[in-house]
Amino acid sequence: SQELEQSPQSLIVQEGKNLTINCTSSKTLYGLYWYKQKYGEGLIFLMMLQKGGEEKSHEKITAKLDEKKQQSSLHITASQPSHAGIYLCGAENTGGFKTIFGAGTRLFVKA
């Protein structure tokens, strides 16, 4: 079965600093999703990547899917306290209908 590994598990950055979160899949990715979760709440969709080399941006958050479609990175520029939370990558399984998730990366931003 497909597995997603995220790194780092947690991250503490000073406000204004840039950061990168990685998501590596054990199998080829056919659809890669990034979600953000505020502590104790549901997940909010950030963006979806499907094509190798694809890159998308939403405000100060940029995500990219590598050419081989087995790794994705999420980059935050000039981090702010509002960026704090848990970032999870998700992937569609080859049979459809199901999305599996990585364990998440906990981001703390120090003001």
Partner 1 sequence: SQTIHQWPATLVQPVGSPLSLECTVEGTSNPNLYWYRQAAGRGLQLLFYSVGIGQISSEVPQNLSASRPQDRQFILSSKKLLLSDSGFYLCAWTAGNTGELFFGEGSRLTVL
- List residues binding partner 1 (CB under 8 A): 4, 6, 31, 33, 35, 40-45, 48, 88, 90, 92, 96-104
Strand order in the sheet with 4-7: 4-7, 19-25, 71-76, 61-65, 55-58
Q: Which is nearer to partner 1, 13 or 103 (CB)?
A: 103
Q: Which is nearer to partner 1, 85 or 102 (CB)?
A: 102
- 105-110 and 10-14 as β-strands: parallel, antiparallel, unpaired? parallel
What is the nearest approach in angstroms of partner 1 to the Cβ of residue 103? Answer: 4
Give the Cα separation of 33 and 72 in Å (integer).
Answer: 9
What is the nearest approach in angstroms of partner 1 to the Cβ of residue 91? Answer: 11
